[in-house]
């Protein structure tokens, strides 16, 4: 089974071009399955749907929540579909498996006033103040993922059109909108601060460290937390919270869910629909105000 897992991971990397993080996640699932198979003194060809269901049941007992079990189930289905397609198994035992429904937990968000408080607390005149303000403005303006912001490049940013081309999950490219305030903050950083950070080895990444290298995701997380602490915001602040706030505030402002899906780079509208739950209070208030029997 180890050989089959190794071959499958190579397939994900070379033929599918999937990220290292995804490959690692799949490998962890399949290694757990391999350990379970060995403990049952069985082999790969002997696995049927009942055995895979028993494996998932054991994973649940081990503490996996519904979302993690859903991901595990998807990993199994993709793996066994590949085994069957490549003639390593006669039938796909994972095909009948049903993934558990994910928990409908609401995403955390910041109130618009808290976002404003965070942004206005940054003094552009202090060292790296312009850089950090540009980072936070871009997060909130465009709803970028952390990895997308870290990899953002100068040649992909258009000040004239107000867009930036970025590469997201699975190597997919999309165009993200950059608002006026974010463009102003980025322009101030590029004109007055970034040139002092540039070294001979500096790449075209927009955001640089004091050593002239691109900022790591861990460093950007730290910057966001430090700036939130300085602003006196007690809530736990992290980059993805600004992405959630971006989507929620767009929805509250009346933006179409399909547009938000495109701006976020979600492949499936169901991923974006979680934001509709946080908008229920606004809908309730509108109904109560305007419906004759509200």
The rounded average pLDDT for each run of 10 residues, N- to C-terminus, in the chain (294 residues) is 91 88 92 92 86 89 85 92 90 82 66 94 95 97 93 96 88 89 97 96 95 94 95 90 90 83 79 65 61 59
Instruction: Find out whether 122 and 129 touch, Cβ atoms under 8 Å.
Output: yes
Residue 35 within a domain? yes
Known active-site residue 140: no
Known active-site residue 145: yes
Q: Please give the pLDDT value at position 105.
A: 57
Angle of the 239-252 helix axis to the 257-264 helix axis, nearest 10: 160
Q: Which of 140, 189, 244, 275 is catalytic?
A: 275
Known active-site residue 275: yes
Residue 102 within a domain? no
Known active-site residue 169: yes
What is the CB-side half-sphere exposure of residue 240 using CA atoms within 13 A? 5
How many structural domains are present in the chain? 2
Residue 23 within a domain? yes
What is the CB-side half-sphere exposure of residue 220 using CA atoms within 13 A? 27
Report the distance separating Cα 290 and Cα 159, nearest Å: 41
214: which strand partners?
A: 208
Q: Tell whether 209 and 79 lie within a shared domain.
A: no
Q: Tell whether 31 and 72 lie within a shared domain.
A: yes
Instruction: Find out whether 142 and 164 touch, Cβ atoms under 8 Å.
Output: yes
Q: Tell whether 45 and 158 lie within a shared domain.
A: no
Q: Please give the pLDDT value at position 130.
A: 97
Q: Tell whether 79 and 117 lie within a shared domain.
A: no
Name the DSSP letter for residue 166: E
The whole-model pTM stands at 0.62
Q: Tell whether 253 and 125 lie within a shared domain.
A: yes
Report the distance separating Cα 128 and Cα 244, nearest Å: 25
Q: What is the CATH number of the domain that holds 6?
A: 1.10.150.130
Report the distance separating Cα 146 and Cα 22, nearest Å: 16
Report the distance separating Cα 289 and Cα 16, nearest Å: 52
Q: Tell whether 116 and 80 lie within a shared domain.
A: no
Q: Which of 16, 60, 153, 169 is catalytic?
A: 169
174: which strand partners?
A: 166
Name the DSSP letter for residue 275: G
Q: Which helix (H) or strand (E) holds 291?
A: none
Q: Tell whether 131 and 265 lie within a shared domain.
A: yes
* Residue range(s) defining the domain that contains residue 239: 112-285
Q: Which of 75, 77, 227, 243 is catalytic?
A: 243
Known active-site residue 240: yes
Distances (CA, A) of 90 to 30, 46, 81, 96: 19, 11, 11, 15
Q: Tell whether 138 and 59 lie within a shared domain.
A: no
């Amino acid at each position: 089974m180890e050989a089959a897992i190794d071959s499958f991971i190579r397939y994900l990397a070379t033929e599918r071009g999937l990220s290292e993080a995804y490959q690692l996640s799949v490998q962890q699932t399949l290694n757990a399955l391999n350990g379970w198979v060995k403990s049952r003194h069985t082999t790969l060809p002997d696995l049927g749907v009942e055995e895979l269901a028993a494996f998932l049941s054991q994973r649940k007992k081990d503490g996996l929540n519904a979302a993690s079990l859903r991901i595990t189930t998807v990993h199994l289905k993709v793996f066994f579909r590949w085994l069957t397609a490549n003639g390593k198994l006669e039938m796909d035992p994972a095909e009948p498996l049903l993934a558990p429904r994910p928990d409908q937990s609401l995403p955390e968000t910041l109130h618009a006033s808290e976002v404003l408080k965070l942004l206005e607390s940054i003094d552009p005149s202090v060292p790296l103040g312009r850089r950090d303000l540009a980072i936070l403005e871009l997060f909130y303006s465009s709803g970028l993922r952390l990895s997308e912001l870290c990899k953002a490049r100068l040649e992909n940013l258009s000040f004239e059109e107000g867009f930036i081309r970025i590469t997201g999950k699975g190597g997919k490219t999309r165009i993200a909108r950059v608002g006026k305030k974010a463009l102003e903050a980025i322009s101030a950083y590029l004109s007055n601060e970034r040139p002092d950070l540039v070294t001979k080895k500096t790449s075209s990444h927009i955001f640089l460290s004091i050593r002239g290298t691109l900022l790591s995701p861990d460093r950007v997380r730290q910057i966001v937390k430090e700036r939130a602490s300085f602003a006196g915001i007690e809530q736990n602040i992290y980059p993805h919270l600004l992405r959630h706030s971006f989507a929620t505030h767009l929805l509250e402002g009346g933006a179409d869910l399909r547009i938000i899906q495109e701006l976020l780079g979600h492949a499936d509208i169901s991923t974006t629909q979680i934001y509709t739950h946080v908008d229920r209070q606004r809908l309730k208030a509108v109904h109560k105000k305007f419906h004759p029997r509200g």
